[in-house]
Amino acid sequence: MPVPGYRDAPALPWQPEATVDSAEAAEFIRRVHTDQPGLGPAEPRLAEVAAEIAATGTYTHTPAELTHGARLAWRNASRCIGRLYWKSLVVRDRRHVTGADEIFSEVVDHLRTAGDRDRKVIRPVITIFAPAGPRKPYARIWNEQLVRYAGYRRPDGSVLGDPRYVDFTTAMAERGWQGKREAFDVLPVVVQTPGDGVRVFDLPDDAVWEVPLAHPDLPWFGDLNLRWHAVPAISNMRLSIGGVNYPLAPFNGWYLGTEIGGRNLADADRYNLLPLIAKLMGLDTGTERSLWRDRALIELNRAVLWSFDRAGARISDHHTESRHFITHCAKEEKAGRVVPADWTWIVPPVSGGITPVFHRYYAEIDQRPNFYLDEDARDLATSGRPQLHRPSPRPSPRPHQHALHQHPQPARCPARGRVPTPRLPLRPAVPQSR
Ligand code: ARG
């Protein structure tokens, strides 16, 4: 039985118009009162919630419920290796904000709070906007993350920028957005609200912290002019708390180096930089036996970690974060809880077998509160176009990296690797010659 949210299994289809499930609501309220004895007994609140659901089909979370619910959703996010810090999530309650301009300005504030370049801190933050519900049209953001880079298809079929966002970029151009046509052009943010329709906003430069990449001992690396944004902020997942759904609740943590060095810049269908780096390192790319891919991959990952450290932008390495995840598991087990986790996402895409998370299995269960990626939200984030006639939910052809999540991979046998084969005629985003 495929478990929703694991591997290729989609989230359970969501009906925005449906009445809140009272059992799920009650279970959540009890959980909050058990975890936070200061709130007093659950019974009065349970009665209140039941009455509100009976009258309106939904109920309104108290600020304490909202905050705890969001933290529990993080704790239950099976693809996230960084859950040791779940209690530190900063929750911004913006349920009253509904206009597109106001939503966008909150998004900008979110990014400034999450990545504070002056103080050199990155904090995990979530901004929660109004929930969906019966007869309640809701706002959403189309983008997969608040900060992402455009991709432009060249006449010869190769791509400048991030190939993942070629269609999204085209759709934005059709709406009149103009990029600089460079390898790291920050895409605009699309806010859709019931009142204002679809609006496209450019992020102000000071809200986007970017880290230029260089290498501690390969002097030419800096000349590649690579960079990456410091704050990964997922913006198209639905936060589900006690039966109430928040389709617009962007959240961020800080990066694990391998997300950038092992996937975004390395994947053959993303920036595909390994062949270029190997060539510049003088490695023999004519044979797999030189392990040129692996050697280039390691130096790319060193560059990412070194550059983020140099910039004062918080980043984890996969060895440390793997140990922290094991600590998290031990803490949770001690508290009598299971840790839902998806091995295929938890194990880092670089040096998996030499991290402790590789050497065990995890409970594959769907626990709420949680974050869910709906099919239409996923399509919208790469296509930039609403699909009018969508077939019933189906698994994506190939999992892609997402969310709290650090790397998606096809379900695979741990003993075999995945050899990246370019699917498109890709050219690195940067010039081949020095
Ligand atoms: N893997 C995604 C990316 O590379 C980010 C997912 C969230 N990651 C995180 N560390 N919270 O952009």
The mean per-residue pLDDT over the stretch 37-63 comes to: 98
Ligand 1 site residues (CB inside 6 A) read 82, 145, 232, 234, 253, 255-256, 259, 264, 401, 403-406
CA distance 313 to 118: 11
- Tell me which residue of 249, 263, 195, 273 sits closest to 369, measured CA to CA: 249
Q: What is the pLDDT of residues 93-120, one digit of tens each?
A: 999 999 999 999 999 999 999 999 999 9
Protein residue with least CA distance to atom 2, ligand 1: 402
Residue 404 lies in a domain: no
Q: Quick check: 268 and 164 in contact, CB under 8 A?
A: no
Whole-number pLDDT of residue 85 = 97
The mean per-residue pLDDT over the stretch 418-432 comes to: 40
Residue 100 lies in a domain: yes
Show Cβ contacts of residue 285 under 8 Å, excluding neighbours closer than 6 positions.
275, 278, 279, 292
pLDDT at 406 over 90: no
Whole-number pLDDT of residue 5 = 80
Strand partners, 141: 191
Does residue 83 carry a catalytic annotation? yes
Whole-number pLDDT of residue 8 = 78
- pLDDT band with cut points at 50, 70 and 90 for residue 174: very high
- pLDDT band with cut points at 50, 70 and 90 for residue 158: very high
Whole-number pLDDT of residue 281 = 98
Which residue in 65, 259, 321, 375 is the catalytic one? 259
Helix/strand/coil for 281: coil
The amino acid sitting at 299 is: E
Does residue 259 carry a catalytic annotation? yes
Number of domains in the chain: 1
Q: Which atom of ligand 1 is nearest to the CA of 255?
A: 10
Residue 30 lies in a domain: no
Residue 410 lies in a domain: no
Report how far apart, in Å, the C-alpha atoms of 35 and of each of 30, 32, 42, 300, 365 are.
9, 5, 11, 43, 21
Residue 306 lies in a domain: yes
Q: Which atom of ligand 1 is nearest to the CA of 148?
A: 12
Protein residue with least CA distance to atom 5, ligand 1: 232
The mean per-residue pLDDT over the stretch 138-151 comes to: 98
Q: Quick check: 56 and 134 in contact, CB under 8 A?
A: yes
Residue 245 lies in a domain: yes
Q: Which atom of ligand 1 is nearest to the CA of 263?
A: 4
pLDDT at 288 over 60: yes
Which residue in 7, 31, 71, 80 is the catalytic one? 80
- Give percent of the chain with pLDDT exceeding 90: 86
Q: Give just the sign of the alpha carbon dihedral 34, 38, 41, 47.
A: negative
CA distance 336 to 386: 43
Question: Per DSSP, which regions of 172-319 are E strands?
Answer: 189-193, 197-201, 210-212, 227-229, 233-234, 238-241, 244-246, 251-252, 255-256, 315-316
- pLDDT band with cut points at 50, 70 and 90 for residue 149: very high
Question: Per DSSP, which regions of 165-219 are E strands?
Answer: 189-193, 197-201, 210-212
CA distance 36 to 117: 34
Check whether the bond before 369 is cis (ω within 30° of 0). Answer: yes
pLDDT at 422 over 60: no
CA distance 327 to 320: 11
Q: Which atom of ligand 1 is nearest to the CA of 145?
A: 12
Q: What is the arrangement of strands in the sheet containing 125-128, beginning at the earlier edge strand?
A: 90-93, 125-128, 251-252, 233-234
The mean per-residue pLDDT over the stretch 410-426 comes to: 35
CA distance 142 to 381: 5
The mean per-residue pLDDT over the stretch 252-275 comes to: 98
345 CB neighbour count, 10 Å cutoff: 25
Count of CA atoms in the C-beta half-sphere (13 A) of 32: 28
Show Cβ contacts of residue 420 under 8 Å, excluding neighbours closer than 6 positions.
266, 267, 268, 274, 293
The mean per-residue pLDDT over the stretch 229-258 comes to: 98
Q: How far is the CA of 59 from the centre of ligand 1 (A)?
A: 32
Whole-number pLDDT of residue 11 = 82
Show Cβ contacts of residue 342 under 8 Å, excluding neighbours closer than 6 positions.
5, 6, 7, 78, 79, 362, 364
Q: What is the pLDDT of residues 331-349, one digit of tens each?
A: 999 999 999 999 999 999 9
Give the residue carrying structure tokens 């198209």.
236
Residue 46 lies in a domain: no
Does residue 254 carry a catalytic annotation? yes
- Tell me which residue of 432, 422, 403 sits closest to 73, measured CA to CA: 403
- Give percent of the chain with pLDDT exceeding 70: 89
- Tell me which residue of 267, 193, 240 sits closest to 366, measured CA to CA: 240
Residue 204 lies in a domain: yes
Give the residue carrying structure tokens 């801190």.
121
Protein residue with least CA distance to atom 4, ligand 1: 259
Element (DSSP H or E) covering residue 152: strand 151-153
The amino acid sitting at 168 is: F
Q: How far is the CA of 125 from the centre of ligand 1 (A)?
A: 14
pTM metric for this prediction? 0.90
CA distance 395 to 7: 9
In 228-374, which ranges are continuous DSSP H helix? 257-258, 274-280, 292-311, 318-334, 343-346
Whole-number pLDDT of residue 20 = 98
- pLDDT band with cut points at 50, 70 and 90 for residue 389: low
Give the mutation target among 229, 405, 407, 409 for probing the ligand 1 site: most ligand atoms within 8 A of CB: 405
What are 63's two structure tokens? 């600020």
Whole domain around residue 174: which residue ranges?
3-20+57-356+371-390
Whole-number pLDDT of residue 390 = 55
Which residue in 31, 71, 83, 302 is the catalytic one? 83
